[in-house]
Structure 1
Amino acid sequence: MMRHALCAAALAGFIACAATAAGKPADQAAPLGKRLFDYHCASCHGTGIGNPGAAMKPGTDALRVKYGGELPALLSERTDLTPETVAYFVRNGVSVMAPYRKTEIDDAQLAALGTWLSRNNPDLKRR
């Protein structure tokens, strides 16, 4: 029952956010990866209030439940992400998150997104 409620909430959030994401102007001063995150991901995985009655965006809330406080629910605050992990989930999807095709996020954009989301990973700074 809980899974169905999460799926319904995530789907409703995705539909609502997809309708508004197209109209958002990109902050041209921000790095490409951040702009891509804001355009494609923040509607579900960003900060702020989610669907009516939800304290968080659906993707952020789903990660909060999944990790139970062991990892940050906000992708932008994670310190364990790698570009390869980001690429895997973007291309393959997970749970109610649909995969993104190369016509939606090309390989160069995906690399920029992965670089931005993994910027807090201390292990990658040693490479």
Structure 2
Amino acid sequence: MKAVACLAVALSAAVSLSVAAQQAERPRINPADLPGRQVFAAQCAPCHGAGRGDDGSHSLPGTEALARKYAGALPGELERRSDLPAPLLRLFVRRGAGAMPAFRPSELTDAEIVAIADYLAATAQRSR
């Protein structure tokens, strides 16, 4: 019984250290207060935000997929990316990519895409 209790304590400590290490590895996002922030939060963050997944995974599905795709060459969190100008973002949004669906102009306007791109650029700059 004592061995089981010791094992449980050791396992708990290891999990806590692992979670702390993962959190330490991830730079803090310092969001810019721009109109695109609300659009990003509503339309993009459910898949591409910097938080943990609902299933307890390290990150959200879009963030995780991008982190795997770029293998450290680029951040998985869009809010840390400074390489997503509005024309490129519009291309991904309108065509979709992988599991990401395409968004019609009635779902996400071109002006909203520009606002998201401006927000991402400002947030990436502030989060360095």
Runs of 4+, deviation exceeding 6 Å:
none
Q: Identify the match of residue 49 of structure 1 among 52, 59, 67.
A: 52
CA distance in structure 1 between the partners assigned to 2:42 and 2:52 by the alignment: 17
Answer 1 or 2: higher relative contact order, Cα 8 Å, separation at least 6.
Answer: 2
Alignment correspondent of 1:70 = 73
Aligned residue pairs, count? 93
Q: Identify the match of residue 80 of structure 1 among 78, 83, 87.
A: 83
Q: Any stretches of 5+ residues in structure 1 without a counterpart? A: 1-29, 123-127
Q: TM-score, with normalisation over the residues of structure 2?
A: 0.66
CA distance in structure 1 between the partners assigned to 2:92 and 2:120 by the alignment: 12
Instruction: Please identify the structure whose Cα radius of gyration is greater.
Output: 2
Q: TM-score, with normalisation over the residues of structure 1?
A: 0.67
CA distance in structure 1 between the partners assigned to 2:56 and 2:107 by the alignment: 31
Calculate the aligned-residue CA RMSD, in Å: 1.7
Q: Any stretches of 5+ residues in structure 2 without a counterpart? A: 1-32
Q: Percent identity?
A: 38
Per-residue CA deviations over 1:61-90 (Å, capped at 9, x if unaligned) read 000100000001100001222111111111
Q: Which has the higher helix share?
A: 2
